[in-house]
């Protein structure tokens, strides 16, 4: 199985022409070199399914090798759109025994994420919360409808913009059991009053823009919240090339995430 890589107005170049110019880049030369899925998973595949409006959502699904039904994890990409990295995180969760789904949240509107992170960032800026929630609802429905999945035993994890989206989706879907916003900005404290899931916050020590909200999150969520700021790390440290990646604190963060999902999703 091969893997190809898969509200705010962007500053005008001019409006529709700007979007068309970026979207036009999807037609030719849009992919990075094809890669095989990571060896840690026994099976990974790209799928498409419809959201409530009938638009097609593209996602990567990684399956574990196990004889019983598996808990599920939704992985939400950064502000740059889906890159080659996010599916490897899906593979990593599959190796831990989960069915992981990684939706491309630009796909229902633009077909797929563009080849460059700068273009991806500009397109993500055009998305609205309602559309993103609709695509995540469709992802939740798809993965929970799989015969190999434990129904409604689902966690979510997101990074950067995706971490901020974790807060929004945990508030929008009361069925979510476990939520992990990784250095995800909390845009609206009223979201916390709607969150029923247990939450694990993962923060970079040098990321005060995001970390400043930790006391509020702790106060309003109480026992349902646990958070940690990892020493010597910065924003995005779970991704290669970022400050703190590959350090003992990086390893500790991944271990804490694994322990949290195991506890909250009754994973054995």
Please compute the mean of the pLDDT values over residues 224-246 and round it to a whole number: 97
* Residue 154 main-chain phi, psi, to 5 deg: -125, 135
Provide mean pLDDT across the span 103-125.
97
Domains of the chain: 2-264 (3.40.50.1820)
Query: d(Cα 211, Cα 258) in Å, to the nearest integer?
Result: 22
What would the mean pLDDT of 13-34 be, rounded to a whole number? 36
- Angle subtended by helix axes 15-24 and 117-124, to nearest 10: 140
Element (H, E) at 133: helix 129-144
Average pLDDT over residues 73-101: 96
pLDDT at 267: 60
Residue 23 has pLDDT above 80, yes or no: no
pLDDT of residue 266: 78
Q: Mean pLDDT across the stretch 209-223?
A: 97
Contact 249, 228 (CB under 8 A): no
Q: What rounded mean pLDDT belongs to the chain?
A: 87
Tokens 């916003």 sit at which residue? 181
């Amino acid at each position: 199985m091969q893997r190809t890589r898969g509200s705010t107005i962007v500053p005008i170049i001019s409006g529709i022409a700007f979007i068309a110019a970026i979207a036009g880049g999807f037609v030719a030369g849009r992919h990075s070199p094809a890669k095989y899925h990571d060896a840690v998973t026994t099976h990974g595949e790209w799928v498409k399914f419809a959201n409530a409006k009938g638009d097609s959502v593209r996602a990567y699904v990684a399956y574990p090798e196990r004889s019983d039904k598996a808990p599920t994890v939704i992985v939400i990409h950064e502000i740059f759109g889906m890159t080659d990295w996010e599916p490897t995180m899906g593979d990593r969760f599959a190796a831990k025994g989960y069915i992981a789904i990684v939706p491309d949240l630009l796909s229902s509107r633009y077909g797929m994420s563009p080849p460059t992170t700068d273009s991806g960032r500009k397109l993500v800026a055009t998305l609205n919360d309602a559309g993103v929630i609709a695509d995540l609802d469709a992802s939740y429905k798809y993965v929970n409808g799989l015969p190999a999945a434990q129904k409604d035993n689902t966690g979510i994890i997101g990074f950067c913009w995706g971490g901020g989206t974790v807060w929004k989706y945990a508030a929008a879907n009361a069925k979510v059991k476990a939520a992990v916003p990784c250095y995800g900005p909390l845009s609206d404290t009223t979201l916390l009053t709607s969150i029923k899931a247990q939450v694990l916050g993962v923060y970079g020590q040098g990321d005060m823009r995001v970390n400043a909200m930790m006391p509020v999150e702790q106060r309003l969520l109480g026992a349902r919240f646990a958070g940690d700021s990892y020493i010597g790390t910065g924003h995005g440290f779970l991704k290669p090339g970022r400050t703190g990646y590959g350090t003992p604190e990086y390893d500790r963060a991944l271990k804490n995430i694994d322990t949290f999902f195991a506890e909250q999703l009754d994973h054995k």
